[in-house]
Structure 1
């Protein structure tokens, strides 16, 4: 199992993929902010190239096939994905893995990279112009909570 090899909780990875795909788990879902990202964890074009593929190719895969690339992308973080927030940070902002929940990812007035805040503005829940690790992962946490409420009868 992928999450066993990555030494993380499968619920956290599923919640992150639910969030990134709008609960469709479709490998062809494109990023709504227009970044060019696609798929289960919203692979950016440059990331796809480092994995030896393209976003176009990834978008044509079955979900099960794309999971190979999800694992390949997350493999460098093996053993570091100890919280739901860290799993999501591996996808959104790897520099925040292992950082405290109040760690600031994006600032509205960052002169070096103002676009980062704008593309993620919807994650600034308190509207203070800062997006913390906790804020960024809040919607992912809600996906996990929703998933855990579903009862299956087999």
Structure 2
């Protein structure tokens, strides 16, 4: 959420905050269940047409099943994959990718990064740390580097964060 909010503030995404439902990012904490999303939003009538629903997640295989007839209100149901973890962006920002790859079979990105920075894993994942980190590092560069160094995503409904940049 913090990274998407930073990207919205920088106005580097292919959409603006005003185009979001209720003008804000929707937390997976509330909308992990597609039925909650359907009940809250897809029961409405959208004069502007159909919706583009982008699910940002680190899992490549999780599906979000919106049932008919509500699926007719969705033009695009896409998955923005941040695998293996969003902390990979920090690893790219710190130019630690090659070193991480040497240890990747043994450590998750967040654990590796916490050890390198000498702080707790929970702090690495905290919104405050993420926001502070990207005041000193280029989030857009990290996102484009991550796409360049990652494996291709299979499927026409799979995207990298970099694919959302203008």
Q: Same fold, TM exceeding 0.5? A: no
Larger radius of gyration: 2
More strand by share: 2
Q: Which structure exhibits the higher relative contact order, with contacts defined as CA atoms closer than 8 Å and separated by 6 or more residues?
A: 2
TM-score if structure 2 supplies the norm length?
0.28
